[in-house]
Structure 1
Amino acid sequence: MIRRGRPAGPRTIGLVCAVAAAGALLSGCGSSGSDTASPQKSAAPSRAVPATAASLNADQAQRQALVPKAKVDYGQALKAAIAAVPSSEAIAAELKGTPGSPYWSTVVATTDGTAYAVRVDAVSGKAQKPQPQSDDPDDKQELAARLGKATVTAQQAAQTATEKTKGTVTTIELGDADHGNDTVAWTVGVVTTDDWNETTYEIDATNRKVLWMHLDQD
């Protein structure tokens, strides 16, 4: 049992003085019980501080420079891309570019598996002309099947990820789950703006279950 708040008696002070004499660490101790030890100042509690520019690695510095410049988020970018391709669904979005010219690289697809790349200005939200992707029948069939299985939307997957890690979604993509088993999943990247790390989640596209997560501190 640990006892707290018990005053120091003569025996305690005598022991302190013996240690002081041996190590020359303390001075002026008396044998009288009226002497008291000087109170020690408690250390101030440590506080988490935001990462400074000098402490950031290259990837963190790039995120710090780019992410705040995007005035349009992933959801708005996908909405603009879907509007540019009627009857399409969201497949992917990634924040790219430079701090002076940030943009979202998005992909949307129609139910037959025809995919279109749409670049969306991350400041104005304006979508450029959609660019058709692969016409390979196998690719289209695979994408159509993936869309048919996915019941979780991009927004729902992003919400699941940001409930786990508060931050800004910078990447999201629908694909096959890493562990296989014919499962479709959303991969979502979330950047935290206090340290500029990125946490990636793989989320089952049928039930919103988190399949795995990875914290990138490099």
Structure 2
Amino acid sequence: MNAQPVCAEFSRRRLTSGRVITVVCAAAASALLLGCGNGAGETPRPTESPTPAATPTVSPTADPTLSADQADRKDLISATKIGYDKAAEAAVGKVSGSKLVDIELKYARDGGPEWATEVATTDGTAHTGRVDAVSGKVVESQLATHQGVDDERELADVLAKAKVSWKDAVGKALAKRKGTVTSVELGTENGTPTWIVDVVTTKDWLKTTFDVDAMNGTIRHEEVDRD
């Protein structure tokens, strides 16, 4: 993937088959502290003591035919009751006039599934949040911290140029690969607004990442993570 997600706060670099992705994301702050992730099953399980919560913890899958990443995806998706679309709508609904920038299925601190979200208004002001992936409740929604003026301008520019909605981008990805959507991010590829969509196929728990042109809806690249 060449696409560069344009979330709010600071950069993270990902390497996949020699293709470099630069992530500028408010949600990446916690990922850098806990270990960077890219889609379901690749964010490390929390190591701190679980705190009481309504969401159930994810039970590890004991399947010797699956890799660690595949097993994590299976556990996380199997425990999830609220899909990306409902979670995205809930997050957007908390911030008037906002649009989705980023949503990713991850482990919550209590060990259960949650959607980490980022939405932004047309002026590029970003808000981060968390949506319980079992109940659908928005458990957190707040202004992104450390977002500078340049970050806001960059995000506002990408939002203005993106003519294809996240729903349509996901539709393009699912038309190529049936499965469960675990991540949707808005970014750029060589200056072109691009939606980055992760789809996990539940027959083998492999993840396919699609780069969807956010101006015309064409799929610019797709890649299967076989780990």
RCO (CA 8 Å, sep 6+): is it higher in 1 or 2?
2
Q: d(CA) in 2 for partners of 1:197 and 1:129? A: 30
| 2:172 corresponds to | 160
Shift in Å, 1:128:
2.3
| 2:153 corresponds to | 141
Q: Does 1:173 align with 2:173?
A: no
Gaps of 5+ in 2: 1-61
Gaps of 5+ in 1: 1-51
Please tell me the root mean square deviation across aligned C-alpha atoms, in Å: 1.4
When you count helix as a share of all residues, which structure comes out higher? 1
Q: Which of 199, 210, 216 in structure 2 is aligned with 1:207? A: 216
Q: Does 1:107 align with 2:118?
A: yes
Q: Does 1:94 align with 2:126?
A: no
| 1:61 corresponds to | 71
Runs of 4+ in 1 over 4 A off after TM superposition: none
Q: d(CA) in 1 for partners of 2:204 and 2:141? A: 35
Q: d(CA) in 2 for partners of 1:162 and 1:78? A: 17
Q: d(CA) in 2 for partners of 1:64 and 1:54? A: 13
| 1:85 corresponds to | 95
Shift in Å, 1:135:
3.2
Q: Which of 196, 203, 215 in structure 2 is aligned with 1:194? A: 203
Q: d(CA) in 2 for partners of 1:205 and 1:154? A: 8
> What code does the residue aligned with 1:74 have?
Y
Percent identical: 45
> What code does the residue aligned with 1:186 have?
W
When you count strand as a share of all residues, which structure comes out higher? 2
Q: d(CA) in 2 for partners of 1:199 and 1:135? A: 30
> What code does the residue aligned with 1:105 have?
A
Q: Residues 84 and 129 of structure 1 are in contact (CA less than 8 Å); yes or no, is this contact kept in structure 2? A: no
Q: d(CA) in 1 for partners of 2:139 and 2:154? A: 26
Q: Which of 75, 80, 92 in structure 2 is aligned with 1:70? A: 80
| 1:43 corresponds to | none
State how many pairs are aligned: 164
Q: Residues 131 and 140 of structure 2 are in contact (CA less than 8 Å); yes or no, is this contact kept in structure 1? A: no
TM value normalised by structure 2: 0.70
